[in-house]
């Protein structure tokens, strides 16, 4: 994604420039939030919070790269705040949605063709596996594998050391592999 935003214009509070930033990053933010919530409406709320927070703190942004890191940092932070606020609700929702195919529950989303049923089973299992990770492991896993960020960038966004990021990534991947092996492949 090309970043043609002028930071100075953005910081002046010009609405059109800010709309452009929203357009550039809203899918990523929504995706990050969804990685934590598995719910579109909650993810939508979190995404709105992220951009409103960004607007209030525009003066702190110094460069395009800083803007990107700031958005990711706030997205992760707000998502984790959401998880903390809704600890018990999330547990209940997780159990009640076992066996439900959530992939089809989006507006505008086409039905999955029959030959993709196995694929969606894997996706569902992966979602459940992600939910079993600790917050730090999930954060690192999502930012590395879903957002394609480098270890250095993840370290900057999360304020964790690079070694810590690598350790979380290793453990997260290992946990998910083990979960998928036992649930999908029936290995023990």
Partner 1 sequence: MQGKHLNEKDFYNIYYYPKGAAELSEHLDSCPDCKSRYENFANETGLITKDIHNEKISGLDERFFNTQTDKIISAIRSTKEKDEMSRQLFPKLVPVMATVLVMFLAITAGVIHFSKNGPSGQPIMAMSEEDIADDILLMEIEELKEMPSIDGLEIFVELNGEGTDINDEHGAVHLKKTIKV
Residues 85-144 that bind partner 1 (CB under 8 A): 103, 106-110, 122-123, 126-127, 129, 141, 144
Cβ proximity to partner 1: between 88 and 105 the closer is 105
Tokens of 97: 């949605």
End-to-end CA distance of the chain: 42
The answer to whether 31 and 15 are in contact (CB under 8 A) is no
**Residue 22 found at the interface with partner 1 (CB under 8 A):** yes
**Contacts for 16 with CB less than 8 Å, ≥ 6 apart:** none
Residue 83, token pair as written in the block = 């998880």
Q: Which of 10, 18, 82, 137 binds partner 1 (CB under 8 A)?
A: 18
Our CB check for partner 1 shows the closer of 26 and 77 to be 26
Which of these segments, 4-12, 26-34, 76-84, 88-96, binds partner 1 (CB under 8 A)? 26-34
């Amino acid at each position: 994604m090309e970043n043609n935003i002028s930071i100075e214009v953005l910081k002046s509070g010009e609405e059109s420039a800010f709309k452009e930033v929203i357009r550039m990053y809203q899918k990523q933010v929504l995706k990050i939030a969804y990685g934590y919530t598995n719910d579109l409406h909650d993810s939508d709320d979190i995404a709105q919070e992220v951009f409103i927070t960004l607007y209030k703190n525009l003066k702190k942004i110094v460069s395009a790269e800083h803007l990107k890191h700031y958005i990711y940092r706030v997205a992760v932070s707000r998502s984790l705040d959401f998880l903390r606020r809704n600890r018990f609700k999330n547990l209940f929702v997780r159990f009640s949605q076992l066996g439900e195919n959530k992939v089809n529950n989006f507006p505008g989303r086409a039905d999955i063709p029959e030959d993709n049923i196995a694929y969606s089973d894997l996706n569902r299992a992966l979602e459940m596996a992600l939910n079993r990770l600790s917050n730090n492991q999930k954060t690192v896993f999502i930012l590395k594998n879903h957002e394609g960020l480098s270890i250095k960038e993840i370290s900057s966004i999360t304020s964790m050391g690079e070694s810590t990021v690598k350790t979380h990534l290793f453990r997260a991947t290992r946990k998910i592999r083990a979960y998928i092996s036992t649930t999908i492949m029936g290995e023990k």
